[in-house]
Amino acid sequence: MTVIPRAEGAVDRRTLLRLAGLSAGAGLVTAATLPGVAHAASGAFQHGVASGDPLPGGILLWTRVTPTPDSVPGSGAGPEVTVSWQIAADAGFAAVVAAGEVRTGPARDHTVKVDVSGLSPATTYWFRFGYNGSWSPTGRTMTAPTADAAISRLRMGVVSCANWEAGYFAAYRHLAERGDLNLVVHLGDYLYEYGTGDFAAGDVVIRPTKPEHEILTLADYRIRHALYKTDPDLQALHASVPWIITWDDHEVANDMWSDGAENHTPGTEGDFGARVAASRQAYAEWMPVRMGGDGAIYRRLRYGNLLELSMLDLRSYRSQQVGRVDGDEIDDPDRTIAGGDQLAWLTEGLVTSTAKWKLVGNPVMISRVDLASLPAWLLGPLGDLLGIPDNGIVVNPDQWDGYNADRERLVDALRAARTKDVVFLTGDIHTSWAIELTTKDTGSRNPAAAEFVVPSVTSDNLDDFLNTSPGGPLSRLAADLLRATNPHVKWVETDGHGYGVLEVTPERCRMDWYYLADRTKRDTSAKWATGWSVGTGSSKIRKESAPS
């Protein structure tokens, strides 16, 4: 499914201010001042509100209603009900610009999704839902500018890998409290499928998950989604800005491919296709995302002439990961990570885009990571972290490294078309990287794109696998060895949990990394770690000083 707004007109200075987070007649709104966001949702609306996939004239709104005590997520119980919704130009809803009603019930787990059209471009709105005389918490959202609008700046939060049992979602709270974001991009592993104790903070369960067993059925996935959306920090960020999301593997099962997964055993866990169908249905119900009629989630959204964002699905169409990686297997042109149709869609979109920056929401790392010369003490933990066997591996087969033909085809197309200003935004591996994308034939002198990899919100990092203190000598040595082995890797940090903030201007794309002091504490602080940027017309990246 492709979502590309049509061109309509330029954006004036007042509209640019609204796009930057201001509304006519209202000051900058943060999670602390946004009505209904400062406290966790309760009553009929226990799971908060959310918005997603902004268009110039539209936005997708989401909530979940609990009309009766027995209408709990995953129960299949409760009545069908009518939920009202409103969008207003002000936080007090004195100027309602759109409203309506929608039916929901146990067939869709009492979730509500409304795709609103007819709104003004590049405008801040407030929204809420009503049921039985009560209102939901209030959410704030923003529509996108028109396709040809001149945009001077866009700022987004970038996150991935939020494991409930490994800590609290303070990263979401810090992003919500900034008040200067236009959107959030989530790169996958929004939730994890494991049972209690199977993947926690090292060996410590910070907060038990529900259901306690590994999730397999539609009811299981619904309950797990509902649990995540009771987190007050997640609710605050969803209610503060629109999200653009995609999935990775843990929304179904670890190391998923098109016909199976490492964490699925058909003999004891049933048909894998049935598990995928259950997880995808729950995802479609519980997430503020537009999906195609065939369930496709890869899509493209545009913000004026400044950027286009292509969100990928690198699980649904991929070939099975190889066990032992060698040249014959990873170079096999019949093996794919994206699938032929999606790869063609991505390539065509990048080389023909008229936007200044071409961003790619990329669930797993596309850059090469050579591991063969690393010492055994590092290769073993990295093998666990990256999901690879420790048998002389030189690449991670669950990333683009295991599907070299697809990567070569994409990079070759970018070079042939002389496409510039492509930036991959990546999650998945719980660590932080700033990389210049090269292939085995091009070397590091002429990178084809830049790649910025954000850390996990809570999921275990290298220090957890090594059982050492964060930022200790082994982790610093590991980072040095990774850079020495991979000269295109300009920076890597293996221990921090947190988030990224990407600022895009016509002149540069800059990513800043922020780390939590302690993921196991809800009220933990966060601090800036580093910043890296890529300038227009060049895929060479450079280090930046702390933002002012």
340: phi then psi, degrees, rounded to nearest 5: -60, -45
The two structure tokens encoding residue 515: 């780390």
Q: What is the 3-state secondary structure (H, E, C) of 472-507?
A: CHHHHHHHHHHHHHCCCEEEEECCCCEEEEEEECCC
Residue 7 lies in a domain: no
Q: What is the 3-state secondary structure (H, E, C) of 233-272?
A: HHHHHHHHCCEEECCCCCCCCCCEECCEECCCCHHHHCCH
Of 174, 188, 173, 180, which is closest to residue 142 (Cα–Cα)? 180
Residue 378 lies in a domain: yes
Q: What confidence score (pLDDT) does residue 467 get?
A: 79
Q: What confidence score (pLDDT) does residue 324 get?
A: 58
CB 448 within 8 A of CB 337: no
Residue 2 lies in a domain: no
The residue range of the domain holding 95 is 13-544
Radius of gyration of the chain (CA): 22
Q: What confidence score (pLDDT) does residue 62 get?
A: 98
- Report in angstroms the alpha-carbon separations of 465 from 101, 304, 317, 430: 50, 43, 30, 12
Q: What confidence score (pLDDT) does residue 424 get?
A: 98
Residue 457 lies in a domain: yes
Residue 335 and residue 330: Cα distance in Å, rounded?
8
CB 389 within 8 A of CB 383: yes
Q: What confidence score (pLDDT) does residue 382 get?
A: 60
Residue 99 and residue 115: Cα distance in Å, rounded?
12
Residue 5 lies in a domain: no
Residue 403 lies in a domain: yes
Q: What confidence score (pLDDT) does residue 8 get?
A: 30
Task: List, in order, residues 6 or more apart from 126 with CB less than 8 Å away.
Answer: 35, 87, 88, 89, 90, 91, 93, 138, 139, 140, 141
Q: What confidence score (pLDDT) does residue 115 get?
A: 98
Q: What is the CATH number of the domain that holds 484?
A: 3.60.21.70
Residue type, 171: A
Q: What confidence score (pLDDT) does residue 388 get?
A: 47
Residue 46 and residue 423: Cα distance in Å, rounded?
37
Helix (H, G, I), strand (E, B) or coil at 524: coil
**Grouped pLDDT means (10 residues each) for the chain, 548 residues:** 32 38 32 43 90 97 97 98 98 98 98 98 98 97 97 98 98 98 98 96 94 98 98 98 98 97 95 98 98 95 98 98 71 94 98 98 93 58 54 67 93 95 97 90 74 97 82 85 89 96 98 98 98 95 94
Instruction: Give the DSSP H/E element, type plus range, for residue 125.
Output: strand 124-131
Residue 483 lies in a domain: yes
Strand-pair partners of 514: 499, 528
Q: What confidence score (pLDDT) does residue 25 get?
A: 28
Residue 207 lies in a domain: yes
The two structure tokens encoding residue 81: 């009900």
Domains in the chain, number: 1
pTM above 0.85, yes or no: yes
Residue 199 and residue 395: Cα distance in Å, rounded?
24
Task: List, in order, residues 6 or more apart from 333 with CB less than 8 Å away.
Answer: 405
Q: What confidence score (pLDDT) does residue 19 get?
A: 42
CB 367 within 8 A of CB 451: yes
Question: What number of other Cβ atoms are within 10 A of residue 62's Cβ?
Answer: 25
